[in-house]
Structure 1
Amino acid sequence: MKKDQLLTRRRALLAGAAVLGAAGAAGTARLLTADEPAGSPVRNTAPVAGPPVRRALKPSAYRLRPLTGYGPPRSAPARTVVRHEPFLRISGRGRSMVLTFDDGPDPRYTPDILRTLREYDVRAMFFVCGEMAVDNKDLLSEMADDGHVVGNHTWTHPRLTELSRSGIRSEMERTSEVIEQAYGEPPQWFRAPYGVWNRAAFQLGADLGMEPLAWTVDSLDWTTPGTRTIVNRVEDGAAPGVVVLSHDAGGDRSQSVRALRDYLPALLDSGYHLTVPRRQFA
């Protein structure tokens, strides 16, 4: 009789262990399931072994919004074609233009330019130099939050025709790395300093997934000709598809800052849509 009682108790203990094991397995599956139905009555909040899971950052609303409709979404497989000349204009409907700023970011002038663009809800392109960007990553992050496009303008702003192929690659790669760290993604556009291009620049830019973009209208603001002269050059050159070149670093850019405050609202009042281009993937 005692032997039968012992067997019965043993069976009960084994059955209880099986139930607990099944419950533990169910709890583990619950933790690993990302698409748990809404309104589930029980949520397992037990800590999980290992490092804490980093919460995904919410992308900027501007980064998610298609701005121009050029080409397919950014998630399309990217195979960049090797160009033989840079793009000078953008294609699209209506009176669209692109404002670009080179050589920065510079904490003396770039923040003012960003504030003006934000005031008028306008996106622009910033072709940054790595040696400037590495010490001003917060400004690149601000550009990302506001929906601006950041392009590669080399590390030290050299004439590419005077560098070896390995030298050009180094200038591009180092800058792309800094941009990706601060902006959140690698650059999709490249601009050669001084507008001096060569075959190696096109090939290496394509290897890094970048399209070459030059400009249509040069404000020549780097010569500091006076605020009114810069304004007149931009307004006189305004036309559908135009890409405007200005600078936010590389010298005294206070005239460029003041000129933007004048010509930006004037362009908007004239019916121009200031935007940024979308990549055309091959």
Structure 2
Amino acid sequence: MKKDQLLTRRRVLAAGAAAACAAGTAGLLTLGGDPAAPVAPAPGAPARRVPMKPSAYRLQPLTGYGPPRTAPGRTPVRREPLLRVSGRGRTMVLTFDDGPDPRYTPDILDTLRDYDVRAMFFVCGEMAEANPDLLARMADEGHVVGNHTWSHPLLTRLGRARIRTEMERTCDIIEEAWGDRPEWFRAPYGAWNRAAFQLGAELGMEPLAWTVDTLDWTSPGARTITRRVENGAAPGVVVLSHDAGGDRSQSVRALREYLPQLLDDGYHITVPRRHHA
């Protein structure tokens, strides 16, 4: 696709998501103090194609669907994404979307390793397919990998069959490279709909959004990203950043600045684990 056509398509998608956006009640995910401890959550593939870079547009989560439905032995079908966590002490979760990207993801992994911290990576299938070694490294170093669809489309403008394909292909790639099928998914642009919740649950995944958006995709500077994380830090916060989808060098530098500060301030940076039925 030509560059001007791609930009036009992205603007149309972003406009559609903005028109659909609605505020809602925050979900809550309970965490244990131990990163390895389980967590109880709150109440015919198409032919391969050349990967496209995910869009940089970001919107707030679409929520407001009401309480979840639950069935014994099954993942709950939620009507809103989980937005924050709850655990002992000053617990926070760092998340990175759109990767893996060999230009930035290795540096983020290096920093997390240096401070013995685990994070969540919501990957796009087309990026994961091109960089399976990075998913293998995430598995080796104890990080959690979530599903961010195959090609980063706006789910609210897709039919159920296409949404399933986007999710299912990505689940397969994650299982192949990371070692397990993902238990978490995040809708591109933060644009959720009923089909996404239902299909995610059918595939055994919980929807996780965020509490603090660093807006790093706007390239505000590493210091601004750092300040947003430090100002937003609080028990239960889920931080949204990106390791792909554009120039993420500022995100890499910011992580090196705010991570040691969060640890010095007594925050426990961990990852969620769900109880298995």
Q: Does the pair score TM above 0.5?
A: yes
Moved over 3 A (4+): none
Q: How many residues align?
A: 214
Q: CA deviation at 1:92?
A: 1.0
List gaps (5 residues or longer) in structure 2. Answer: 1-33, 42-71
Task: Report the counterpart of residue 243 of structure 1 in structure 2.
Answer: 238
Candidates 131, 155, 162, aligned match of 1:160: 155
- Correspondence list, 1:225-264, <5 A: 225-264=220-259
The CA deviation at 1:71 is: 3.2
Asked if 1:278 corresponds to 2:273, the answer is yes
Identity among equivalent positions (%) equals 77
Out of 173, 188, 193, the position equivalent to 1:198 is: 193
Per-residue Cα deviation, 1:20-60 (whole angstroms, up to 9, x for no partner): xxxxxxxxxxxxxxxxxxxxxxxxxxxxxxxxxxxxxxxxx
Does 2:190 match 1:217? no
Match of 2:145 in 1: 150
The structure with more radius of gyration: 1
Contact 1:202–1:212, Cα closer than 8 Å, also in 2 = yes
CA RMSD of aligned residues (A): 1.5
One-letter identity of the residue aligned with 2:197: F
Change (3 A) 1:225 1:200: same
TM-score, normalized by length of structure 2?
Answer: 0.75
The one-letter amino acid of 1:166's match is: A
Q: Does 1:182 align with 2:151?
A: no
Q: Would the aligned equivalents of 2:99 and 2:244 in 1 still touch at CA under 8 Å?
A: yes
Q: Which residue of 2 aligns with 1:117?
A: 112
CA distance in 2, matches of 1:130, 1:78: 27
Structure-2 residue corresponding to 1:130: 125
What is the rounded CA distance, in whole Å, between the counterparts of 1:78 and 1:179 in structure 2? 23
TM-score computed with the length of structure 1 as normaliser = 0.74
More helix by share: 1
Check the 8 A contact 1:71/1:281 in 2, yes or no. Answer: no
Tell me the distance in 2 between the aligned counterparts of 1:122 and 1:276: 9
Alignment partner, residue 55 of structure 1 = none
Q: Tell me if structure 1 keeps the 8 A contact 2:107–2:252.
A: yes
Closer/same/farther in 2, CA of residues 66 and 257 from structure 1, 3 Å limit: closer
Conserved in 1, the CA contact under 8 Å of 2:35 and 2:272? no
Provide the secondary structure at the position in 2 that maps to 1:89: strand
* Displacement after TM superposition at 1:278 (Å): 1.5
Whether the aligned pair in 1 keeps the contact of 2:39 and 2:273 (CA below 8 Å) is: yes
Structure 1: any 5+ residue segments left out of the alignment? 1-64
Residues in 2 aligned to 1:66 and 1:116: alpha-carbon distance in whole angstroms:
18
Cα displacement string for residues 218-249 of structure 1 (whole angstroms, at most 9, x for unaligned residues): 00000000010000000000000100000000
CA distance in 1 between partners of 2:74 and 2:133 (Å) = 30
Q: Which residue of 2 aligns with 1:94?
A: 89
